[in-house]
Amino acid sequence: MIKRLVAALLAGLALAAPAAATAATCPKTTLPDVEDEVMCLQCGVPLNLAEDAPSAQRERAFIQALVNRCESKSQIKRALVAQFGNRVLAQPKGSAAWLVPALAFAGGIAVVALAWVRWRRTRQSAEPDSTTPVTVPADDAARLEADLDRYKT
């Protein structure tokens, strides 16, 4: 009885070992992991946002088949490009998609720098020169003297 139990346990372990080894070597890629990096060719939006368009369903089925075959994300993307063309990728190779944000950032920095320089210039020109005497109209000077005399007493 115990021999049969031990034999059954060893047989179970022997069957589980190849499955565990296969799972360890299989890349952990899923359909949602790839969906946000590829486009629906019919809708023109990322595949994870595409509704139930026939093109989106075909792409999802194609990706799921590759995931089931334990293909990595980069292998799946290469297969998608081979099957559907380079426009299936959300950011195709050689894309200058980074160029627009970089130019916008550089333009923003330039506008801020220019505004700061102009602000400093107008502020410096508005400051009174300490060597120039300040002239006060006679009636204001008399009123000022009267106010100061009132506070002295």
Q: Domain residue spans in the chain?
A: 27-88
Global pTM reads 0.48
Class of domain 27-88: mainly alpha
What are the CA-CA distances from residue 110 to residues 2, 10, 16, 124 (Å)? 82, 72, 63, 21
pLDDT in tens, 115-129: 999 988 887 776 666
* pLDDT for position 14: 65
* pLDDT for position 95: 60
* Low-confidence residues in the chain, pLDDT < 70: 1, 3-24, 27, 92-97, 126-132, 153
